[in-house]
Amino acid sequence: MRKKVAFYTLGCKLNFSETSTIARSFENEGFDRVDFDEMADIYVINTCSVTENADKRFKSIVKQAQKINPNAFVAAIGCYAQLKPQELADVNGVDLVLGATEKFKITDYLNDLSKNDMGEVHSCEIEEADFYVGSYSLGDRTRAFLKVQDGCDYKCTYCTIPLARGISRSDTMKNVIQNAREIAAQNIKEIVLTGVNIGDYGKGEFGNKKHEHTFLDLVKELDQVEGIERLRISSIEPNLLKNETIDLVAKSRTFVPHFHIPLQSGSNDILKKMKRRYMRELYVDRVAKIREVMPHACIGVDVIVGFPGETDAHFLDTYNFLNMLDISYLHVFTYSERENTEAATMEGVVSKNVRAKRSKMLRGLSVKKRRAFYESQLGSTRTVLFENENKEGYIHGFTENYVKVKAPWNPELANTLHQIELTKIGDDGIVRFEFVPVFSI
């Protein structure tokens, strides 16, 4: 009987790309992959350390696995496993905890699958995470997450990622292009470039500081790969998003007009406390440049509320700044204290209820911004890539500039691209459309 393995991924696109690669290593060892809610011999949980919520969810996911199969072997890997290995090992039911360098060698640790009385920990000092392991996801036929970079050399005062993933390092250009070709050969229409700090692409495989290639070089090369319909940049720091990259995306055959650019605060005082590498004036400049060459582009923004020392005046500064900016949506994060970060010891702690109130205000602003962006796109002709999931009788898809659309379920549309005209916004906030007739000569 072939053993069965199931995976649960918390956190970011980067985690999803790594889970997918680790899953393929199990398949190469003779395991069959099943869904997490099915009976399996091994349950692997890829953890996240970015938010407090991701930590709390870990225990409930372990319980979920134990409920399905009390005798299953449970392994925790990833960022939280690196930061707090013993804490995860102490969770009832956890048998194995693997940190940053060990997670890709998980099958080497599975001598037998008998349950352990105590969780076994294998995690390195983070300084040892100085080599690069490439990965990409193939879980969803319509898009793949392609990892091009890992780790971060920035010292933002609220962030644990450098402690969990180590120094900034990149895949070789040759490997990235090879992975992109492999993905294209699977009939996947869209690739999303992912990493911890992808604008820093080019630092060598072992973190050496000399850039052999830049992110702009990478974008140029990927734009030439045959068989890829769409390329999307997941998230890029404003100080690393150069005019040349924006201009290239504007003229690109495959890169889509969609940027996700972390801001974190609209107050320069708070940006300084966060040790971000720009002031808000640079952010205004980046948005203006994108709008100049791609008026229809979608621009998403990350923002943190409730950072230590954020007064009502600072928050209103952020709110008004975002309200004024020509952006398309917000990802709002409520600040949560993380151990071993500078911010955790700062004065001016914002109460939890004030954090929640500010978060709610910015989420409301995001709804307004997204609605305004969708309205600006009505009447335009776009290309949609349909997903392959039947959601309550509807098929969903995204245009190149990230407008979400839906239509009655039709399996023949899954994983296909079509020209459409955006016609109206439904009561659910999702855009409706008409197909643009294709005339053959």
How far is Cα 330 from Cα 75, in angstroms, rounded to an integer?
A: 34
Q: Assess whether pLDDT exceeds 90 at residue 127.
A: no
Q: Is pLDDT of 421 > 90?
A: yes
Name which of 256, 241, 158 is nearest 201 in CA terms: 241
* % of residues, the chain, pLDDT over 90: 73
Cα(262)–Cα(403) distance, integer angstroms: 20
Q: Are 75 and 45 in contact (CB under 8 A)?
A: yes
pLDDT value at residue 333: 95
- Are the beta carbons of 432 and 405 closer than 8 angstroms? yes
Query: Does the pLDDT of residue 267 top 90, yes or no?
Result: yes
pLDDT of residue 418: 96
Determine contact, residues 58/21, Cβ cutoff 8 Å: no
Residue 85 pLDDT: 87
What pLDDT does 382 receive?
97
- The tokens describing 309, both together, are 């020392």
Give pLDDT, residue 100.
81
Residue 323 token pair: 């309200």
| Locus of tokens 């920990």 | 121
Helices 280-293/243-251 angle, 10° precision: 20
Count other Cβ atoms within 10 Å, centred on residue 112: 5
Q: What are phi and psi of 261, to 5 degrees?
A: -125, 110
Q: Is the pLDDT of residue 370 over 70?
A: yes
Positive or negative CA dihedral for 88, 170, 178, 412?
Answer: positive
Rg over alpha carbons for the chain, rounded to the nearest Å, is 22
Q: How far does Cα 228 stand from its chain's mean position?
A: 20
Residue-level pLDDT at 128 = 65
| CA 196-267-256 angle, 5° bins | 45
Q: Mean pLDDT, the chain, as a whole number?
A: 91
Q: What is the pLDDT of residues 173-213, one digit of tens each?
A: 999 999 999 999 998 999 999 999 999 999 876 667 777 89
